[in-house]
Amino acid sequence: MTSSFSSASSSSSSKPWIYDVFLSIRGEDTRKNFTDHLYFTLKDAGINTFRDDNELRRGEDISTELLQAIQKSRISVIVLSRNYANSRWCLEELVKIMECRRSCRQLVFPIFYDVDPSDVRKQTGSFAEAFARHEERFVLQKDKGKVATWRMALTEAANLSGWDLRNVADG
């Protein structure tokens, strides 16, 4: 894993990247375990990694700083966990990441943390429950397009080659 990150960051030295890696996580699901280990392992390997350390702010729009961090990252690692889709903030991050994948040729690697990749792809299980709540809320706000955009981004991310940690000891 380290060699692909190192070669990606060194070959892009002429690009406007500020970060080698942007970590997209649902903090309450993985912050105190898997993503802390991943973050510090990347940092110890000399990989400049962005992770939003602030708790998610309810009802606020995703910050400009966070959107810029995504855009200025060479690689995004999306840790898709059971409650990832519950967070509008995470879903907005994901939309921006997938846009950067298309427009800036950003590399995107999904990690399926304690979730079945097909649940993410098809939005079943906990993802179906989260989207039912989002659809109910956004129907009232007359903004169903936002939910459709989130669904497409989630499907696109789940279709990428990634790591399914359910098959690895303790994730």
Is the Cα torsion angle 154, 157, 159, 165 positive or negative in sign? negative
Its pTM stands at: 0.82
3-state secondary structure of 136: helix
- Measuring CA to CA, how many Å separate 42 from each of 3, 21, 48, 77, 89? 11, 9, 7, 11, 24
Burial of 122 (0-12, 13-18, 19+ CB in 10 A): middle
pLDDT of residue 9: 44
Q: Which pLDDT tens digit goes with each residue over 26-36? A: 877 767 778 88
**Given 65, 93, 99, 156, the catalytic residue:** 93
Q: Which pLDDT tens digit goes with each residue over 123-158? A: 999 999 999 999 888 776 667 788 999 999 999 999
Domains belonging to the chain, first-starting first, are 2-163 (3.40.50.10140)
Show the DSSP H helices in the chain as ranges: 2-11, 27-30, 34-44, 64-71, 88-103, 117-122, 126-140, 144-158
What the block records as the tokens of 68 is 């810029």
pLDDT of residue 11: 45
Closest by Cα among 21, 19, 33 to 113:
33
Does residue 93 have an active-site annotation?
yes
pLDDT of residue 165: 84
In this predicted structure, the answer to whether residue 160 has a pLDDT above a threshold of 60 is yes
pLDDT of residue 66: 87
Q: Which pLDDT tens digit goes with each residue over 54-111? A: 544 454 556 888 889 999 999 999 999 999 999 988 999 999 999 999 999 999 999 9
User: In percent, how much of the chain has pLDDT > 70?
Assistant: 79
Section 47-54 average pLDDT: 83
pLDDT of residue 28: 73
Q: What are phi and psi of 106, to 5 degrees?
A: -65, 140
Calpha distance 145→115 (Å, rounded) = 26
pLDDT of residue 109: 97
